[in-house]
Amino acid sequence: MKLMEYQGKDLFRRVGIPTPNGVYTTDAGDVKAYLTEHPGSWVLKSQVMMGGRGKAGGIKFADDAQQGETLARELLGKVLKSVQNPDGEEVKSLLVEEKVDIASEAYVSITIDRAAKKPVVMVSRFGGMDVEEVAEKNPDDIKKYWVDASIGYSPYIGRRLAFAAELPAGYRKGFPAILGALYTLFMDYGANLVEINPLVLTKDGRVIASDAKVELDDNGLYKHPEIAQWNSESPADEDQAAAVAIGLGMSNYAKLGGTIGVIANGAGLGMGTMDAIRSAGGEAANFLDIGGGAQADLVKKSYNLVTSDPRVNAMFINIFGGITRGDQVARGIVEALAGDDVRKVPLVVRLTGTNAEEGRRILDAAGFVPVETMDEGAARAVALANGR
Amino acid sequence: MSIYLDKNSKVIVQGITGREGAFHTQRMLAYGTQIVGGVTPGKGGTTIETGQPVFDTVKDAVDATGATHSILFVPPFAGADALWEAYDAGITLAVCITEGIPAHDMLRVVATTSGMRIIGGNCPGVISPGKSLVGIMPGHIFKEGNVGMISRSGTLTYEIVDGLTRAGFGQSTCVGIGGDPIIGTTFVDCLRAFANDPETTALVVAGEIGGSDEEDAAAFIQAHIPDKPVVAFIGGRSAPKGKRLGHAGAIISGNTGTPESKVKAFADAGVPVADRPSDIPRLLAERLKPIPA
């Protein structure tokens, strides 16, 4: 679950990472009232999930209350578009923050190194820019440290990284504690990624998290039920929402660009099926892992989800019957798709396992195309999608 | 021989009276696995239908049975606790079927259980065909033989194994390492074990997009396994960037985890990458063909 900046900063404050003074709002009137009460220079930051919001015009500066209100009205409801997000995303809320005088900008993040099975901390003195660009052009400017999770964080790690990355002297006092707090957040809230870019050193000597990027592990969200609720207030991934709505795991469905619908039992087989379709000259319209068993009700819901994409003009159901019986799966499919409440597209079903032959006879009798192997199924599906 | 388990491995089931645990316990027993008991807190002192004793704690089970292996059918929130309990009781190999254990729980577990091999989570288990099955794989598609097989997925493993068996290639051991982001045993761990197993004369590595496990495997094969032919497969090669496909680990982000990088790594190591699972037996046969003098 990705968090928006204001949500990430909420977590930052809980663990003691300093953030700029400011207010979060969905209303331009609030901006005027706040700026009237707190005169000075302020930044209005659009709260969106997409990257590149600055370039898309989502960040504005205001020096008085009237200007603040005008800019807030302009931003709220605006659809921001960027290279990463050509469809655009509507601005529904703003974070209004003090404009800080920047002396220096650093980068700091913690993520999971899957290969090392350890949290990895990354620090660079080049903050405020695209870190992937820094990593590509000057990899030596990013210093890394792999934390032993059995020991956890200790301030020497922060000191060592600050010296190695040559952070300006002004950071030295505050940095180890801030990194410690970030590690606490990373472990206690179960984050796949916590990133501060930039971590600002102000001209008056404060160290402040000017931005917040936090992505939480969905599997750990049950430990923080109140944060799991945040998801419903922010734009969730459409595919995930669709999967959960029919009772699948949230990453078991993904819409792709092709014309051939895919339903498979198992993630690996689902990916293999997409690949087989491409090998046969077609493109999968989606990825869908229906899990074990392939029960009739779930087959129907999955079929309807996949065919809700108007581009889908053929379907390939690929079931490797390990433990499940082929005839049961076949009956389930026939039963599920018997009614008039499904959009009929040519359907190829691959069945193996116990009683697979009987299963294929049942499918054949129902007017579907039964096949024995994945390659054959992919070829038939591609041919049917092309109207042959 | 085989790796990780053989005929004599004594196995307990953590969660033996749960729906999944009970079902797969019977399947494993039918396959010939030495299931010597199981654990369900509160049901200690009872037995299951086939007579195996149930214990309240893993320690009780190990003390009474001498089990060295455990297979876990527990809910995700209890995964870390169950793995630590197994470790504390002296279990040396734990197969974690559970999907969706929080990644940060697993980070802590793998950092604190050195000496215990963990397979998974989110894995189909381990099978040494004809000897023992500690997992949820359909035993009948496997056949005793000399091909070592490692895979990240469940059903794709079955797809490939089915093809191998039909083509006459039996297997020494098949390990499903699991699809979660933090797993106990990597491809390289398995390769190291297979490299030292004289019965394993060829290998199949079935990876998928995401992470860098396949690249690491390719480098290891090049450096340490000069004498055993290897064929690889990469699932999800047609996947677009940034889409998470079923396995939490299967996502291409930035320039890491791409199929191009994985295919290139294997090619550089002299390992052919099959375009389709059905090509694997043919590629294996070609590599196993004696080179004419």
Distance between CA atoms of B126 and A107, rounded to whole angstroms?
43
Percent over 70 (pLDDT), chain B: 93
Kindly tell me if the per-residue pLDDT of A388 is higher than 80: no
CB contact under 8 A, A289 and B209: no
User: Looking up tokens 């504390």, which residue turns up?
Assistant: B88
Chain B residue numbers with beta carbons less than 8 Å from the beta carbon of A257 are: 240
Chain A residue numbers with beta carbons less than 8 Å from the beta carbon of B238 are: 274-275, 277-278, 283-284
* Secondary structure class of A42 (helix, strand, coil): strand
Going by their DSSP bridges, the two strands A347-351 and A369-371 should be labelled as parallel
CB contact under 8 A, A271 and B235: yes
Kindly tell me if the per-residue pLDDT of B92 is higher than 90: yes
What six digits make up the tokens of B209? 């997009």
- Provide the pLDDT for residue A331: 86
Cβ contact A214:A191 at 8 Å: yes
Phi–psi pair at B35, nearest 5 degrees: -80, 115
On whether any CB of chain A is under 8 Å from the CB of B237, the answer is yes
Strand ranges across the sheet with B202-208:
B132-135, B125-128, B171-176, B144-151, B202-208, B230-235, B273-274
* Most confident stretch, A93-97, A340-344, B236-240: A93-97
Task: Supply the Cα-derived Rg of chain B in whole angstroms.
Answer: 19
**pLDDT tens per residue across span A268-298:** 899 999 999 999 999 999 999 988 666 778 8
**Residue A21 pLDDT grade (very low, low, confident, very high; cuts 50, 70, 90):** very high
A24 belongs to the catalytic site: no
Distance between CA atoms of B170 and B60, rounded to whole angstroms?
37
State the alpha helices, DSSP H only, in A87-130: none
- Provide the pLDDT for residue B267: 94
| pTM to 2 decimal places | 0.88
Kindly tell me if the per-residue pLDDT of B290 is higher than 70: no
Distance between CA atoms of A350 and A360, rounded to whole angstroms?
8
Kindly tell me if the per-residue pLDDT of B292 is higher than 60: no
Q: What is the mean pLDDT of residues B152-161?
A: 90
Taking CA–CA distances from B213, the nearest residue in chain A reads A115
On whether any CB of chain A is under 8 Å from the CB of B102, the answer is yes
Percent over 90 (pLDDT), chain B: 79
- Domain spans of chain B? 10-288
Distance between CA atoms of B259 and B263, rounded to whole angstroms?
6
Phi–psi pair at B25, nearest 5 degrees: -60, -45
CA angle A188, A105, A211 (to 5 degrees): 45
State the alpha helices, DSSP H only, in chain B: 19-31, 58-65, 79-88, 103-112, 155-166, 187-195, 213-224, 259-268, 280-288
Kindly tell me if the per-residue pLDDT of B255 is higher than 80: no
Give the up-direction half-sphere exposure of residue B251: CA atoms within 13 A in the CB hemisphere: 15
Among the listed residues A107, A145, A171, A183, the single catalytic one is A107
**pLDDT tens per residue across span B165-211:** 999 999 999 999 998 889 999 999 999 999 999 999 999 999 988 88
Chain A residue numbers with beta carbons less than 8 Å from the beta carbon of B254 are: 132
**Residue B70 pLDDT grade (very low, low, confident, very high; cuts 50, 70, 90):** very high
What superfamily in CATH does domain B10-288 come from?
Answer: Succinyl-CoA synthetase domains (3.40.50.261)
CB contact under 8 A, A219 and B101: yes
Chain A residue numbers with beta carbons less than 8 Å from the beta carbon of B235 are: 268, 271-272, 275
Chain A residue numbers with beta carbons less than 8 Å from the beta carbon of B138 are: 322-323, 353
Distance between CA atoms of B83 and A174, rounded to whole angstroms?
38
Distance between CA atoms of A268 and B173, rounded to whole angstroms?
19
What superfamily in CATH does domain A239-385 come from?
Answer: Succinyl-CoA synthetase domains (3.40.50.261)
Kindly tell me if the per-residue pLDDT of B239 is higher than 90: no
Chain B residue numbers with beta carbons less than 8 Å from the beta carbon of A374 are: 159, 276-278
User: Looking up tokens 């009872």, which residue turns up?
Assistant: B46
Q: Which of A271, A277, A382 is the mutation pick for testing B, counting most B CBs within 10 A?
A: A271
Size of interface A-B (CB pairs under 8 A): 164
CB contact under 8 A, B179 and A279: no
Kindly tell me if the per-residue pLDDT of A235 is higher than 50: no
Task: Supply the Cα-derived Rg of chain A in whole angstroms.
Answer: 26
Cβ contact A50:A81 at 8 Å: no
Q: Which of B238, B252, B261 is the mutation pick for testing A, counting most A CBs within 10 A?
A: B238
A195 belongs to the catalytic site: yes
- Provide the pLDDT for residue A335: 86
Chain B residue numbers with beta carbons less than 8 Å from the beta carbon of A149 are: 107-108, 110-112
- Residue A91 CB: number of other CB atoms within 10 A? 24
Going by their DSSP bridges, the two strands A102-113 and A191-202 should be labelled as antiparallel
- Domain spans of chain A? 1-20+100-236, 21-99, 239-385
On whether any CB of chain A is under 8 Å from the CB of B241, the answer is no
Sequence-ordered list of residues with C-beta below 8 angstroms from that of B100, at least 6 positions apart, any chain: A219, B76, B121, B122, B180, B248
CB contact under 8 A, B138 and A322: yes
- Provide the pLDDT for residue A326: 80
End-to-end CA distance of chain B: 31
On whether any CB of chain A is under 8 Å from the CB of B96, the answer is no
The minimal CB distance from A274 to the residues B211, B238, B278 is found for B238
Q: What is the mean pLDDT of residues A33-51?
A: 91
User: Looking up tokens 């990355």, which residue turns up?
Assistant: A165
For A1-20+100-236, the fitting CATH number among 3.30.470.20, 3.20.20.70, 3.30.450.20, 3.30.465.10 is 3.30.470.20
**Residue A231 pLDDT grade (very low, low, confident, very high; cuts 50, 70, 90):** low
Cβ contact A168:A125 at 8 Å: yes
Kindly tell me if the per-residue pLDDT of A41 is higher than 50: yes
Taking CA–CA distances from B100, the nearest residue in chain A reads A219
What superfamily in CATH does domain A21-99 come from?
Answer: ATP-grasp fold, A domain (3.30.1490.20)
C-alpha to C-alpha distances, B179 to A114, A261, A351, A362, B86, nearest whole angstrom: 12, 23, 24, 34, 22
CB contact under 8 A, B155 and A373: no
Distance between CA atoms of A61 and B83, rounded to whole angstroms?
53
E strand segments, B93-184: 93-96, 117-120, 125-128, 132-135, 144-151, 171-176
- Provide the pLDDT for residue A341: 84
Per mean pLDDT, which range of A304-313, A333-342, B71-80 is the poorest?
A: A333-342
CB contact under 8 A, B245 and A287: yes
Which candidate, A287, A284, A250, places its Cα nearest to that of A267? Answer: A287
In terms of C-beta density within 10 A (0-12 exposed, 13-18 middle, 19 or more buried), how is residue A241 classed? middle
Among the listed residues A5, A189, A195, A253, the single catalytic one is A195
Mean pLDDT, chain A, as a whole number? 90
Q: What is the mean pLDDT of residues A335-347?
A: 86
> Is A239-385 the same fold as A21-99?
no
On whether any CB of chain A is under 8 Å from the CB of B186, the answer is yes
Kindly provide the b/e burial profile for residues B153-168, where b requires at least 16 CB atoms within 10 angstroms of the residue's own CB: bbbbbbbbbbbbbeee
**pLDDT tens per residue across span A114-145:** 888 999 999 999 998 777 788 888 888 899 99
**Residue B268 pLDDT grade (very low, low, confident, very high; cuts 50, 70, 90):** very high
